[in-house]
Structure 1
Amino acid sequence: MKNFLILISLGIFLGSGNCTHFYGGSITWKAMDPNRINDVGALIQWRFFWRSTFSANHFCNDTKIVNGDLIGDSGFINCEVGCSPTTFRIDSKVTCSDYSLSDNWSGGQRSTQISFPNQTYIEGVFKGSAWLKLVTGGGSWELRFRMNLIQRADTRKINTPPTCLVKPITIMRAGCENTLKIFTTDPDGDTVRCRWSNSSLKECGSICSAVPGAVLDEEKCILKFSPNITGYYAVSIQVEDFAEKTSKLALSSIPVQFLIKSEKLSCIVNKLEFQDPTFKDDSCVFVKFNGTFHSKIIVLSTSRLVEISTLSPRGLIKSKIDNYNNDQNLWYVNLTWTVTDPDQIGVNLFCFEAINVFDEKSDQRCVSLVVDGKGPIFEQPFPTGLVDPIVPFFSVKSSNVPIIKSISPSSYIRIFDSKNAQIAQLESVSSNVQVTDSRTLTFRLHFNFTRGESYFILFDANVAQSNQSCPLESLPIDDKKFWVFTVKISTTISTSTISSTTTTLKTTSTNPTTFTLSTKKITSTIKAVSSTKTKNPSTTLKTSISSSKILTSKLNTKSESTNSEEKEDETALNEYNKKQTSSLIKFFQDFTEKALVGFLATIGGAVGLVSMLAVTTVGIGLVVRKLKKKPKILPNNKFNSGSNKKFFSKSNAKRPKFNRKDSDMSICEDVDSDVESVCNQSVQEENSFNNSELRGQNDFGPQKFERNTNRMDFRTNPENYDINRSNHFGYQSISVKPKNTGFVIKR
């Protein structure tokens, strides 16, 4: 019995070794809630490819795609490391999604959720032994993936590993240098690297190092290979993500395995070209959950196109190939995808390639279809309705995510007239296209629109992108009713007035004249005055303009516009007013505050200047008064000294009387007979004495003076006096000296 079981097992193994139907695949996973610490739910996803003609269970067609049939071997994906307390054993069959008639393969994708209560590190593996005949190696395969469920130190979330996609068979030309890019993406935006699978880590079965001479650029995930032998080569690569570019420790590791078919073909390649609006390579496209996504793949080929080979997410439907717009050189398929499975929320990879009847192929393009991602959704196009012939700018807002300019050329903003003729276009990378406030896409067109004509605006895909790790390109705007505007027949002149302001000006005036400007929105009255010379100008010019919102005056130069057009015009203007009022009022408030500060500063400066002028004037007056002060009149006498002086002022003594006959004293005399003004300061009375009766040096006292009018009156007897005139310190000095005397009279 034991020998019988051994023979049965050996027969199964040998039978499996002769089954050459496995064409490779990949396995990845993601945490359902990256913020959880324990009891983490993980979604494990896998994609496998098989030889279509091997059996009905491995064959895929359009009917099976629509029905969602399962295809593939009855194998299992098993847990091998960290499998306690929860382990898994997953059926490896996939939901049919793609096939290639030219390369004879069928494939699909599938996923399942598993909960891990207290596990932090897990390894899973898919093993088998049904590779087709290979140039090097062959037989068994082993795809190993690693899961790390510990929250990262940098993001405080569970890591999400990268995903990758490569078509199962890539044709390379023997003796030529061939290049293959392995398409990868990482939802966390981590650094992704590719490396050869390692047999010591049980990652590749019997196909480790099965591509001799091939070079792998680990940073760019680009494989270069120049095969010398025709046939099939199996490639096994591990795709890993790292927190930083310099990091050596991988956060996770996922496998990808595929075939290279070497053929003797010319190294000169005539490649088919994709046409817009086909997806750009390595782009991110937004897909709405619980919605239906539509797109097109368009190919330029002068020969009949036989196939557009795709690697699709589950449920994506591709139409039959047909000519595009009845052009015999353009071929296309429609893509339709209705997403209702929550497991497909996130990044879904999609690749495609075109092949014509002469086996000429295009380059493979791959994109990320992000379900329920935050791609730009445009709304609020401006302007719409009636517009002026010259539109200064156009704008449209992203309602859901910040946006950036597209970095991909060949995406255009297109303007059409009412006859559906394109009259202008603007490339999205142009300097006339800008993103403002991170949400608004604005652009300018140097184009004079025709009065009375209607226009609509359409966008190509990827005119803008979301500002995130996987920049989602904007979807095309293809609705002709989304952005429509009509150019006015009439001319509109707009003026704006803000807030309430009263300005007062003073000027010389007579006969005020009143001017009145009247519009629909405001009446302004200005009193103007003419100027004449008057001694006391005091007339006031006052201008008062009061408004709390934007006021627009319209002067119609033509009368062809109808009542309905006037209503639409008024609606458009009111809408514009509402948008501009807040910013203009804020400007006026700032202006008023600054003007008030400036006015107060001016008043303060004026007060300071007046104070300085007053102080200066007082100082000058004191100096002038000091200079004009008259010196005291002293007798030209040797006895004019000592302490026997007595001073009299107008306030405390009567003016002494001088006896001209009895006194030889100097007197205070005003040449202009203004005696009071000269002598009102002080009168000095000196000792009167008689030379003949001198009794001694100290034997004398004060005596009363009497004016001798006969002797001292120089007006009546000018011949008795010597008169000298001179200027001192800016004023005139007159000296009157009696002849043959020692007395001097000064003025």
Structure 2
Amino acid sequence: MMSLSLMLLLLLVCSSQADYFMGTVMTYYPKNTNANGSVTVILRYKSQYQACVYKTWNCLNVNFNCGTENSLTALRVSEEKDESWCQAEVTSTRLVPSNAQFQLRLDGVNWINNIVNGIVSAKAVTVVELRNRSDTGRANRSPQTTILPSVRVPSNCQRDFSLLAFDPDGDQVTCRYGNTSLSECDPCTPPSVLSLSSSCTLSFSPTISSQEGPYAVQLVMEDFPRQTITLTQTNGLQTLKTTSDAISKIPIQFVLRVEPVVPSCTEGLYLPKFLPPTPDNRARLYTSVNQTVEIRIKAEANISTISKVMFSGPYKIFNSTMGPGYFSLKWTPSQREDGESHPICFVVTAVHNGASYQSDLRCVIVSVVDRVVLSTPEGLYLPWFLPPTPDNRARLYTGVNQTVEIRIIAETYISTISKLMFSGPYNIIKDTMGPGYFSLKWTPFQKEDGESHPICFVVTAVHNGASYQSDQRCVIVSVVQNTGSSLQLTLTHLPIPWVGSTCSWRAIVLLVFQLVLPFQLLD
């Protein structure tokens, strides 16, 4: 007998044929890997229509390695009847037979009427990459982003839309327009009134009144490794990915409405202007399971009147008005969101003489972390180390002319990670791979053969003019004989028992720290 929830699902899918499409976004998080190699993955996509309906995605793979969909829920995020849109978050839990790459496609629906750039049929593609990465030792995770179904701009005003582009693996995230030949949209004609940077900023320049109206924006967001990595499948097959190779791709599609002119483009007159304590665009916030995170938003407009805040994000965001032009968005993650990062975007609207005006778009990323990070000094102001940062006193191995790399990740909740400081042998190369993500590389010469060299490091963070430092971590790098063309022990992390050699090693570490560190700080 068909369950009520399934009947409702079928009704919603059918009804989507008569309700017009206003874009979509899909992201994913891998979860459990089972003993037989199968993987559980959670896919979340925004369903954006003129009514609160949705349509499911289809498997694109010929061999149907998209697996089995074990559960599907569709929950309304936000509905704006005067804007004629509704956004739902659809969560699909799939069990796939292996971590092999697969693709999903959305099609069979039409965009809203009168799209200026001539798009009628909707199509979107997601490439889901779950293979294990050599740099993190974990399954790949998609970039995280979201968008409102519709954003508006007056035709006479310059405006930049800096989309949220966060990657949990620290990858380089880029955006491009969809490609018709890759079946990423149908067709993929970009709006003539927009220009797009690879860093995911859409720029609108003033245009003539004949160019006013709704445009379909069809983008693809991709993640690229910051150095060459290997992706390993559960059957042992490996694929090399260079910094020029996209790992996965997700769609970002929405409607841009170019509206009639506004008397002044100066923010704070007709167009709402954000004020503190509104977070900066692309700010990163932290919370933990069952702990509520609050985003306070304040805006002003001296001529028009602030009316409301509109948002996109995870299900169950609570929106409240705290005063004129003062709003609060609250979200409490559940256990299933533990370890994930969720995007939230918002705009504020104002009205004047029957016209409605929109602020610029702001987005934040909310990371759901272990509660211990939020309840101790480390992780608030003091940097908190995260994997793959090696343990203190770990022992690493390399060979002559073989580069050893130490990857270091640190986070803070309130302060901002600023830099990495270190002490060690000559010719260590330091790289910043992303926010709070660093790399130390050292290549020993022949004269270091058979020796062991200490490397110590700390991460610093800043807040309101004050500087805070993490605890100190040190590793020992042993240069061993390189037999053959590859070194068997390279990058092996083994804890070393310092019993019996504590004084000698500590003396070396202390001596190097005192003598070398002042010179390493000269950036």
Considering the TM-score relative to the shorter chain, is it more than 0.5? yes
C-alpha change, 1:397 and 1:273, in structure 2 (3 Å) is closer
Does the CA contact (< 8 Å) of 2:29 and 2:340 recur in 1?
Answer: no
Q: How does 1:82-481 map to 2 (within 5 A)?
A: 83-84=63-64, 87-88=67-68, 94-118=74-98, 120-133=100-113, 134-174=115-155, 176-206=157-187, 208-212=188-192, 214-228=194-208, 229-244=211-226, 247-266=243-262, 268-271=265-268, 272-302=272-302, 304-319=305-320, 321-323=321-323, 330-343=324-337, 345-358=339-352, 359-372=356-369, 377=374, 406=415, 429-431=463-465, 433-438=466-471
Following the alignment from structure 1 to structure 2, what is the Cα–Cα distance between the partners of residues 46 and 364? 20
Amino acid across the alignment from 1:352: F
Letter in 2 for 1:30: Y
Conserved in 1, the CA contact under 8 Å of 2:215 and 2:257?
Answer: yes
Q: Is the 8 A contact 1:79 1:88 kept in 2?
A: no
C-alpha distance in structure 2 between counterparts of 1:225 and 1:91, whole Å: 44
Q: Which amino acid aligns with 1:313?
A: P
Structure 1 counterpart of 2:59: 79
Structure 2 counterpart of 1:197, one-letter code: G
**Shift of the alpha carbon at 1:128?**
2.5
Deviations 1:403-456 (A, max 9, x none): 668359xxxxxxxxxxxxxxxxxxx7454x2213449xxxxxxxxxxxxxxxxx
Superposition pairs for residues 643-654 of structure 1, below 5 Å?
none
1:8 aligns to what?
none
SS in 2 for 1:265: coil
CA RMSD of aligned residues (A): 3.6
More strand by share: 2
| Alignment partner, residue 439 of structure 2 | none
Distance 1:380 1:176, change over 3 A: closer
Name the amino acid aligned to 1:350.
Answer: I
Please give the secondary structure, in 1, of the residue aligned with 2:325: strand
Q: Percent identity?
A: 21
Q: Tell me, in whole angstroms, the C-alpha distance in 1 between the residues paired with 2:369 and 2:375.
A: 16
Q: Is the 8 A contact 2:311 2:344 kept in 1?
A: yes
Q: Deviations over 1:215-259 (max 9, x none)?
A: 211134434455541111101111000002772211001111111
Q: State the distance in 1 between where 2:36 and 2:246 align.
A: 20
Task: Report Cα offsets for 1:551-604 as digits up to 9, x if no partner.
Answer: xxxxxxxxxxxxxxxxxxxxxxxxxxxxxxxxxxxxxxx9xxxxxxxxxxxxxx
Please give the alpha-carbon distance, in whole angstroms, between the structure 1 residues aligned to 2:134 and 2:62: 22
Q: 2:142·2:167 contact (CA, 8 Å) conserved in 1?
A: yes
What pairs with 1:541-552 in structure 2 (closer than 5 Å)? Answer: none
8 Å CA contact 2:136–2:169 kept in 1: the answer is no
Work out the CA distance in 2 between the residues paired with 1:351 and 1:136.
25
CA 1:225/1:25 → structure 2, altered by over 3 Å: closer, same or farther? farther
Q: Give the equivalent residue in structure 2 for 1:734.
A: none
Q: Distance in 2 between matches of 1:225 and 1:142?
A: 27
What CA distance in whole angstroms lies between the structure 1 residues aligned with 2:91 and 2:56? 13
Do the aligned partners of 1:82 and 1:123 also contact (CA within 8 Å) in 2? no
Code of the residue aligned with 2:222 in structure 1: it is: E
TM-score norm. by structure 2 comes to 0.62
Larger Rg: 1
- Contact 1:227–1:262 at 8 Å: present in 2 too? no
Amino acid at match of 1:340: S
Q: Distance in 2 between matches of 1:348 and 1:125?
A: 22
CA shift in 2, pair 1:360/1:92, >3 Å: same
**Equivalent residues, number:** 367
Preserved contact between residue 82 and residue 122 of structure 1 (Cα < 8 Å): no
Change (3 A) 1:177 1:335: closer
Please tell me the residue identity of whatever aligns with 2:46: R
Aligned position for 1:40: 39
Q: What's the secondary structure of 1:184's corresponding residue?
A: coil
Give 2:60's aligned amino acid: E
Q: Return the alpha-carbon distance in structure 1 between the equivalents of residues 118 and 71 of structure 2.
A: 27
Cα distance, 1:287–1:37 mapped onto 2, change above 3 Å: farther
**Distance in 2 (alpha carbons) for counterparts of 1:34 and 1:360:** 48
Give the CA deviation at 1:92.
8.2
* C-alpha displacement of 1:141: 0.7
Amino acid at match of 2:223: D
Moved over 6 A (4+): 34-37, 89-93
Displacement after TM superposition at 1:171 (Å): 1.4
CA distance in 2, matches of 1:279, 1:270: 17
CA distance in 2, matches of 1:153, 1:23: 38
User: Contact 1:282/1:367 (CA < 8 Å) preserved in 2?
Assistant: yes
- Compared with structure 1, are the counterparts of its residues 322 and 221 closer, same or farther at alpha carbon in structure 2 (3 Å cutoff)? closer
Distance 1:148 1:89 in 2: 17
Higher relative contact order (CA 8 A, sep 6+): 2
Query: CA 1:20–1:233 in structure 2 vs 1: closer, same or farther (change >3 Å)?
Result: farther
Q: Which runs of 5+ in 2 are unaligned?
A: 1-14, 228-241, 386-409, 418-461, 473-506, 508-523
**Richer in helix (by share):** 1
For residues 337-366 of structure 1, the C-alpha deviation after alignment (integer angstroms, 9 at most, x for no partner) is 232241464111111111123234332211
Change (3 A) 1:99 1:210: same
Match of 2:488 in 1: none
State the SS of the aligned residue for 1:129.
strand
Amino acid at match of 2:93: Q
CA–CA separation in structure 1 for the residues paired with 2:274 and 2:156: 27
Secondary structure (helix, strand or coil) at the match of 1:81 reads coil
Name the residue aligned to 2:48. 49
Question: CA 1:372–1:155 in 2, change beyond 3 Å: closer, same or farther?
Answer: closer
Unaligned runs of 5+ in 1: 1-14, 52-57, 59-70, 324-329, 382-395, 409-427, 440-589, 591-747
